[in-house]
C-alpha cells in the first residue's frame, strides 16, 4: 500500500476513534473564508479558524517552552492519536486542529530543536511519496508552535498554496528533476540567507515542498519578523495573525471573529511587508 493510501486509512480510522479529530474535521467543513485578489494575478484567502488559537496564541519564548510538557513527544501525545512510521525516525500523525484537508503533523521521534538545514532531504522524500500534498516547515521563530521539537507538516495541495513570488511577499523558488540537486540548491539559499541574518541560529524562513510533474519544488519564504506589529497592539488595532508557511503562501489564518471581519486588503499588504524579507 502506498503512503497516501495508508494516510487516507489512518484518517478514516482516527475519525472513528478520536472525537477531537472528528470535531476538528467537522469544523473545517463549515469554515468561513474571505477572498482577496490583486489584479486577478494573485490571491489571499482568509480562513476563520478559532481552534488555531493553540498555535497563534502560543507562547514560544524559551521560558514558556521549558515550562510546558512537549506536546510532540510520544509520552505527552493524546492516547487516541495513532500514527504511521516514516523513515524510522518520524511518525505521521493526523493534526486535530486542521487548516487543510488531511492536515498532518510529522514529528521526529527525538526531542531536538526545529532546524531545517539537514532535513530538506527528508522533506523532499516525503513530498515525493505524497504527490497530492504540500509538505511544509515553519522555522522556530516563523510560526512553529513547538520550536523545541523538530516537525514537518503536510496537507492536500491546492493552487493557492503553490503560488510563487508575487508583489505581496518574497518567495525563492527551487525546482529540479533531481532530489540531490534541489537539496544542493537549498543549501546555497540557506547560506545566502544565513549571511543576511548572521545573528540568528537559523535564518528565519518558511518552506513548502511539493512535486509537480517530474519536478521537485521548494518555495522558500525568507522572513524578517515572527509576528507583525498588529499582533502586539491593544484593543481595536490588534490583529491576532501569526504567520506560518501557509499564511506566507496565501492562506491566512484568523483565530478571532472580530479580526476575520475587519481585516482589510491594506492590512494584509501591511502584514506581509512586516514579516517577509525582501531579497534580490
Residues lying near Zn ion in the complex (CB under 5 A) are found at 70, 72-73, 111, 149
Helices (H) then strands (E): counts for the chain: 10, 11
Q: Which C-beta is closer to Zn ion: that of 152 or that of 248?
A: 152
Q: Which residue is nearest to Zn ion (CB)?
A: 70
Q: What long-range pairs does 155-159 form, CB within 8 A, spacing at least 24?
A: 155/98, 155/99, 155/100, 155/101, 155/102, 155/103, 155/104, 156/100, 156/101, 156/102, 156/132, 157/132, 157/133, 157/210, 158/100
CB of 271 to Zn ion, least distance (A): 30
Of 5, 279, 273, 234, the closest CA to residue 132 belongs to: 5
Q: Which C-beta is closer to Zn ion: that of 143 or that of 147?
A: 147
Q: Which C-beta is closer to Zn ion: that of 58 or that of 168?
A: 58
Q: Which C-beta is closer to Zn ion: that of 72 or that of 255?
A: 72
Confirm if 210 and 4 have CB atoms less than 8 A apart.
no
Q: Which C-beta is closer to Zn ion: that of 105 or that of 120?
A: 105
Q: Output the nine-digit C-alpha cell for 54.
A: 493553540
CB of 152 to Zn ion, least distance (A): 14
b (16+ CB within 10 A) / e for 34-54: eebeeeeebbbbbbbbbbbee
Using the 8-state DSSP alphabet, how is residue 47 labeled? E
Confirm if 23 and 107 have CB atoms less than 8 A apart.
no
- The DSSP bridge pattern shows strands 42-48 and 251-254 to be parallel
CB of 105 to Zn ion, least distance (A): 12
CB of 207 to Zn ion, least distance (A): 21
Confirm if 45 and 34 have CB atoms less than 8 A apart.
yes
CB of 280 to Zn ion, least distance (A): 37
CB of 69 to Zn ion, least distance (A): 8
CB of 18 to Zn ion, least distance (A): 20
Q: Which C-beta is closer to Zn ion: that of 77 or that of 82?
A: 77
Q: Which C-beta is closer to Zn ion: that of 114 or that of 170?
A: 114
Amino acid at each position: 500500500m502506498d503512503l497516501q493510501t495508508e494516510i487516507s486509512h489512518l484518517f478514516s480510522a482516527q475519525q472513528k476513534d478520536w472525537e477531537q479529530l472528528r470535531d476538528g474535521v467537522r469544523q473545517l467543513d463549515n469554515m468561513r473564508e474571505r477572498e482577496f485578489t490583486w489584479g486577478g494575478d494573485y490571491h489571499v484567502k482568509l480562513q476563520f479558524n478559532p481552534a488555531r488559537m493553540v498555535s497563534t496564541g502560543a507562547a514560544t519564548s524559551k521560558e514558556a517552552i521549558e515550562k510546558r510538557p512537549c506536546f510532540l513527544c510520544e509520552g505527552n501525545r493524546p492516547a487516541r492519536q495513532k500514527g504511521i512510521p516514516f523513515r524510522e525516525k518520524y511518525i505521521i500523525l493526523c493534526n486535530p486542529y486542521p487548516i487543510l484537508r488531511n492536515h498532518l503533523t510529522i514529528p521526529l521521534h527525538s526531542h531536538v530543536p526545529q532546524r531545517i538545514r539537514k532535513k530538506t532531504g527528508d522533506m523532499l522524500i516525503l513530498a515525493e511519496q505524497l504527490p497530492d500534498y504540500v509538505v511544509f516547515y515553519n522555522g522556530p521563530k516563523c510560526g512553529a508552535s513547538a520550536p523545541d521539537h523538530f516537525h514537518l507538516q503536510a496537507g492536500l495541495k491546492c493552487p493557492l498554496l503553490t503560488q510563487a513570488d508575487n508583489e505581496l511577499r518574497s518567495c525563492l523558488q527551487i525546482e529540479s528533476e533531481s532530489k540531490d540537486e534541489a537539496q544542493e540548491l537549498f543549501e546555497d539559499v540557506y547560506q545566502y540567507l544565513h549571511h543576511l541574518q548572521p545573528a540568528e541560529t537559523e535564518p528565519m524562513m518558511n518552506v513548502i515542498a511539493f512535486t509537480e510533474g517530474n519536478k521537485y519544488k521548494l518555495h522558500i519564504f525568507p522572513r524578517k519578523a515572527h509576528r507583525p506589529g498588529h499582533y502586539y497592539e491593544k484593543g481595536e488595532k490588534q490583529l491576532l495573525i501569526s504567520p506560518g508557511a501557509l499564511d506566507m503562501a496565501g492562506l491566512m489564518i484568523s483565530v478571532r471573529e472580530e479580526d476575520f471581519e475587519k481585516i482589510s486588503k491594506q492590512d494584509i499588504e501591511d502584514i506581509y511587508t512586516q514579516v517577509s524579507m525582501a531579497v534580490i
